[in-house]
A and B are shown apart, each in its own frame.
Chain A
C-alpha cells in the first residue's frame, strides 16, 4: 500500500492526529510554564521537560524564564526600554532628610517568583517594580542626611529600601522577587556640584593635614630616640673616660711615688727644676735682688709682649 494512497483515504484521521499532537510543548531548563484552560489558570509551575496540553483553543501555554535575573534601572538618565524612558527625561531629584536634593540612579535586579501572578496580576509589572522601588527609596532617604548617603550610609539605605520594596511588591502579590537594589550613583544637582566637590576636597585636606602631622610625629619620635640614645652614650663614654683617666693618673702617681721614696729629696728637687726649665723660657722674667733695699718697685718694667 502506498503511503500517499493511505494518507488520501485516512486524511481525516491524519488531521485529527496532527491537531491532537499540536498540544505537545517543551519547557526549557531555565523556564517554567503556566497552562491556561479557557482563560483560567489550570496548572502552574510546570517544570522543564516535554509536556502535553489540550490543543487550541482549549488550553494555551505561557513559558517564563524564572531563573533569569532581570535588570531595571531606576532614577536619572539612561534610556530604559522596559519603562519606555528616554534619556531626555528631566533628572529626578530626591529630597533627603536634611532637605538636600540629590540625583540617584539605582539598578534593580529581580526574578519571577510566582509565574502565574507575574503574568496575570498586574498590567505592567516593570512599571510596578520601578514605582515600588522609587517609593521605597524616597521613604528611606526622607530620614537620611545627604552626607551619609554620599559616604557610609549608602549600603544601609540600600538594605532598608530592599526590605521595604519587597514588602510593597509582596503586598501587591506581584509574583516578583527583588534580588538586589544597587545605588549606582548619588550625585548632587549640577547647580551645587562645585560646593560638594569643595567639601570633598576639604575632607581630603583634613586627612592630608592630619597625615602630615602624623608624619612629623613619626619623624620626631625617630629623631628623639636617636638623640636620647646619643645623650646616654655620650654620658657613658664620659664616665669611662673619667675612670680611665683617673686610673691612669693614679697609676702614674703610684709609680712616681714608689720611685721618689727611694730618694725623696733629690727627686723633689729634680722635679722642681725640670718644671722650671720647661716653664721659665716661655715667659718674661724680672729678677730682683733680695739683698738690695726693700723699696717700692716700678712696675713699669713689666711690658706686655710685642
Chain B
C-alpha cells in the first residue's frame, strides 16, 4: 500500500515537473502581439509572427501590442505663417514596429503617447508655421492643402519615431480645425455680420426681382391693351366707313330730298324750350295766318 502511494507521488511529481517544463517552454503568440524572450532580464529573441513557439524554461516572455492604435493628442494651438492662431485637433494612427527599441525607450502605452505627442507636435508646429491659413481653410478647394500639410507632419515625425522609439507612425490626420477660444467672440461677431449682410442681400434680391416681375407685367399689360386698342379702332373705323358708304349710297339717290328730310329731322333735335324763334309773318307757315292766302 505504502509502496503504491510512493509510486503515485513520484509519478505525480514527475508529471508536475513535466507540465511545468512544458508550460515554460511552449507558448503561443497571438496575431495581435509581438513578443520578446528575455534571459535573466536581457532580451535575446524577438518574435514577430503568431503561432506556437518554444523557448528554454529559464527564459521569460514580454509581449507587446502589435495592432494599430489611435492616439488623440490634446487639441493644440499653432501659429500659421500669416500669424493666425489656429487650434488643430488631430489623431495619430500608430503601431509598435520595433519591439526591442520600444522596450528600451518607451516601455508602455502612456510613455508611447507622451513621446508621440512631443514628436508630432514639433512636426506640426513646423509644418503649420510654413502654411498660410488660407491653405487650411478656403472656399476655393484647390487652395486647401490640409492633407498635404498633415502628410508632411507624418513624414517628418515618422523617421524620428521609428528610430528613437521603435514606433511606426502610420498616419497623422487632422480631425478638427478650430479657432482659439479667445477669438470666438470676434468670430461670432463676424459670422453675425455676415449673416446680416446675407439677409439684407436676400431681401434686396427679392425686392429687385419683384420689381422686375411687376414692371414686366405692367409692360405686357400696356402692350396687350394698346394692341387691343389698335384692333378696336380699326374695327370702329371699319364700322364708320361702312355706315358712311351705306348712307352715301342711299342719300345720293336724291340729295335735295335728303337735305330736306335731314334738316327737318335736325330741327326736332336742336330746338328745345329755351329756344326763341323770331318768325317773319311771311314765312311759309305764317303766310296764311297774316295774309289769308298762300301766296
CB interface residues, A 192-230, toward B, < 8 Å: 192, 195-196, 198-199, 201-203, 205-210, 212-214, 216-217, 220-221, 223-225, 227-229
Of the listed stretches B11-19, B112-120, B272-280, chain A binds B272-280
Contact residues of A with B, CB < 8 Å? 36-41, 57, 92-101, 116, 119-124, 127-128, 131-132, 134-135, 138-139, 142-145, 147, 168, 171-172, 174, 188-189, 191-192, 195-196, 198-199, 201-203, 205-210, 212-214, 216-217, 220-221, 223-225, 227-229, 231-232, 234-236, 238-243, 245-247, 249-251, 253-254, 256-257, 260, 268, 271-273, 275-276, 278-280, 282-291, 297, 302, 304-305
Q: Could you tell me the distance between the alpha carbons of A131 and B171 in the complex, rounded to whole angstroms?
A: 12
Q: How far is the CB of A134 from chain B (nearest CB, A)?
A: 4
Q: Could you tell me the distance between the alpha carbons of A100 and B260 in the complex, rounded to whole angstroms?
A: 96
Contact present for A202 and B246 (CB under 8 Å):
no
Chain B residues near A290 (CB-CB < 8 A)? 280-282
Q: How far is the CB of A211 from chain B (nearest CB, A)?
A: 9
Q: How far is the CB of A153 from chain B (nearest CB, A)?
A: 11
Contact present for A143 and B141 (CB under 8 Å):
yes
Contact residues of B with A, CB < 8 Å? 28-33, 49-52, 65, 67-70, 72, 91, 93, 136-141, 143-144, 146-147, 170-171, 173-179, 184, 187-188, 190-192, 194-196, 198-200, 202-203, 205-207, 209-214, 216-218, 220-221, 224-225, 227-229, 231-236, 238-240, 242-244, 246-247, 249-251, 253-254, 257-258, 260-261, 264, 267-268, 271-282, 284-286, 290
Contact present for B232 and A97 (CB under 8 Å):
no
- Interface SS, A side: helix
- Interface SS, B side: helix
Contact present for A243 and B243 (CB under 8 Å):
yes
Chain A residues near B143 (CB-CB < 8 A)? 143
Contact present for B277 and A196 (CB under 8 Å):
no
Q: How far is the CB of A113 from chain B (nearest CB, A)?
A: 15
Contact present for A124 and B191 (CB under 8 Å):
no
Contact present for A142 and B277 (CB under 8 Å):
no
Q: Could you tell me the distance between the alpha carbons of A294 and B271 in the complex, rounded to whole angstroms?
A: 27
Report how many A-B pairs have Cβ atoms within 8 Å.
335
Chain B residues near A276 (CB-CB < 8 A)? 285
Instruction: State whether A38 and B51 are in contact (beta carbons under 8 Å apart), knowing that A142-B144, A195-B195, A228-B225 are contacts in the complex.
Output: yes
Contact present for B277 and A284 (CB under 8 Å):
yes
Q: Could you tell me the distance between the alpha carbons of A135 and B146 in the complex, rounded to whole angstroms?
A: 10
Q: Could you tell me the distance between the alpha carbons of A238 and B242 in the complex, rounded to whole angstroms?
A: 12
Contact present for B195 and A253 (CB under 8 Å):
no
Contact present for B67 and A121 (CB under 8 Å):
yes
Contact present for B274 and A120 (CB under 8 Å):
no
